[in-house]
Amino acid sequence: MTVFPYFVKTLRSGVILALGLMFATVAAHADHQKPKSESYIPGIWVDPDGCEHWVMDDGWEGYMTPNVTRDGIPVCRRVEACLVESSDQLFAVDKHQINAANRKRLADFFRSAGATSYAIYGHTDSDASDEYNMGLSMRRANAVAEIAQSVGARVAAVRGYGERQPIATNRTAYGKSRNRRVEIICIR
Q: Within a 10 A sphere around the Cβ of 156, how many other Cβ atoms? A: 20
Is the full-model pTM beyond 0.75? Answer: no
The answer to which of 4-8, 42-46, 50-54, 106-110 has the lowest mean pLDDT is 4-8
pLDDT at 79: 78
The residue among 105, 124, 121 whose CA lies nearest residue 155 is: 121
For residue 40, is pLDDT > 80?
no
pLDDT at 48: 64
pLDDT at 132: 97
Dmax over Cα atoms in the chain, in whole Å?
108
Which of 16-20, 45-49, 152-156 has the highest mean predicted lDDT (pLDDT)? 152-156
For residue 113, is pLDDT > 90?
yes
pLDDT at 38: 52
pLDDT in tens, 129-165: 999 999 999 999 999 999 999 999 999 899 999 999 9
| Cα 107 to Cα 118: distance, rounded to the nearest angstrom | 13
| Cα 160 to Cα 122: distance, rounded to the nearest angstrom | 5
The residue among 176, 80, 184, 107 whose CA lies nearest residue 140 is: 184
For residue 31, is pLDDT > 60?
no
Q: Are 141 and 159 in contact (CB under 8 A)?
A: yes
pLDDT at 8: 56
For the chain, give the percent of residues with pLDDT over 70.
64
Torsion of CA 185, 162, 142, 99, to 10 degrees: -100
Q: Are 82 and 76 in contact (CB under 8 A)?
A: no
pLDDT, mean of residues 27-42 = 55
